[in-house]
Amino acid sequence: MTGTPAGNTPGNTPENTTAHPGHRVLDGTARARDLRAGVQAEAAALTLLGVPPTLAVVVATDDEGAGWYVRSVSGAARRLGVACEVVDLGASAAPELIEATLARLSSDDRVHGILLQTPLPDGARVEQLAASIVPEKDVDGANPLSAGRLAAGLPAYPPATAAAVLDLLDHHGVEPAGRTAVVVGRSPAVGRPTAQLLLQRDATVQICHRHTKDLAAHTRTADILVVAVGRAGLIRAEHVADGAVVVDVGTNTASDGSLVGDVDAADVARRPGALTPVPGGVGPVTTALLLTHTVRSARAQV
Ligand code: NAD
């Protein structure tokens, strides 16, 4: 399924484009609602059994975006009957304190899931510190052991965002097996694990990153294109083949303060194919899956 590259002609701005009749928007909100309903039912059942599911979130930053995400996760958790304990260590927390906190939560029987929020203070590396989260409670797949197990095709919690990409594809009936998938971004939290999950599902996978030359030449080969970079407008119509399914993981703040992805949605909508929206695509499914992993971890302890 390769497409004809569109020319990057001046004037290809969202304002003067109209959506192609064969373009679909792959919404994530309905799927997130279903997942949240499942979490709520399971949380109620576990609480009746005397095991109230509990997520601990360790924060060592005053980053605004991180604060917003933590409030959104803890709010969703509480609404669904999952206890959420936010442990705020302050933006200048020493790596040793973060490590000791993760180790304490790992051995606390009341806690079933642990999330280490990023960014971390200078000098602290998530790959090192997350090794202190026991894999059974590593509901966001941050421990390198979880990443290794994922790469080896063994059971592990994948990072919730990577799991959300696959979940959304499944929800909309997009089968990865035998398709060409291109993932733009190679971070341990998003790009790499997404590529691993696509590989596990028998896609032929290519990973692009900041050193990739001629990005469009690669992305245009994709039947499934996942973009996780953090640069608004990086992907335009000329990067996308006709008929491709594009999953936009990026979250960026536009100049007017609105949330936008990495994909120029109006421009890409000129092509036949499909695109997940921002907001309302990967984001709500990610939060719902983080809580799904937490109740699964609690169930394993019943
Ligand atoms: P990151 O900064 O750790 O990684 C960015 C990746 O993009 C790197 O691998 C880098 O090599 C690559 N990159 C940078 N410039 C590029 C370019 N010009 N061309 C190709 N590749 C390039 O970021 P991250 O943590 O992986 O997050 C990526 C985006 O996803 C961010 O916008 C983040 O906010 C968003 N995000 C969304 C969710 C969600 O639930 N929707 C969850 C996590 C992250």
The domain segmentation of the chain, as residue ranges, is: 50-135, 160-282
Neighbours of 210 (CB within 10 A): 10
Architecture of domain 160-282: 3-Layer(aba) Sandwich (3.40)
Is-same-fold flag (50-135; 160-282)? yes
CB of 285 sitting under 6 A from ligand 1: no
For 189-228, what is each residue's pLDDT tens digit? 999 999 999 999 999 999 999 999 999 999 999 999 999 9
What's the pLDDT score for residue 17?
58
Residue at 147: amino acid letter: A
Q: Give me ligand 1 centre to Cα 104, in Å.
A: 30
Nearest one of 224, 252, 248 to 235, comparing CA atoms: 248
Cis preceding linkage at 277, omega within 30:
no
Nearest C-alpha to atom 34 of ligand 1 is from which residue?
251
Report the pLDDT averaged over residues 158-178.
98
Tokens standing for 258?
A: 């609105």
pLDDT tens digits along 248-301 = 999 999 999 999 999 999 999 999 999 999 999 999 999 999 999 999 999 998
- Residue 48, pLDDT above cutoff 60: yes
> Cα(57)–Cα(237) distance, rounded to whole angstroms?
38
pLDDT given for residue 98 in this prediction:
98
- Beta carbons within 8 Å of 41's beta carbon, 6+ residues apart: none
Residue 236 has pLDDT above 70, yes or no: yes
**How close is the Cα of 152 to the center of ligand 1, in Å?**
24
Share of the chain above pLDDT 70, in %: 94
Ligand 1 centroid – CA 80 distance (Å): 29
The CB of 161 under 6 Å from ligand 1? The reply is yes
**pLDDT band of 1, cuts 50, 70, 90:** very low
The confidence score (pLDDT) of residue 63 equals 94
Q: Which CATH number fits domain 50-135: 3.30.230.70, 3.40.50.300, 3.40.605.10, 3.40.50.10860?
A: 3.40.50.10860
pLDDT in tens, 6-35: 333 333 344 445 899 999 999 999 999 999
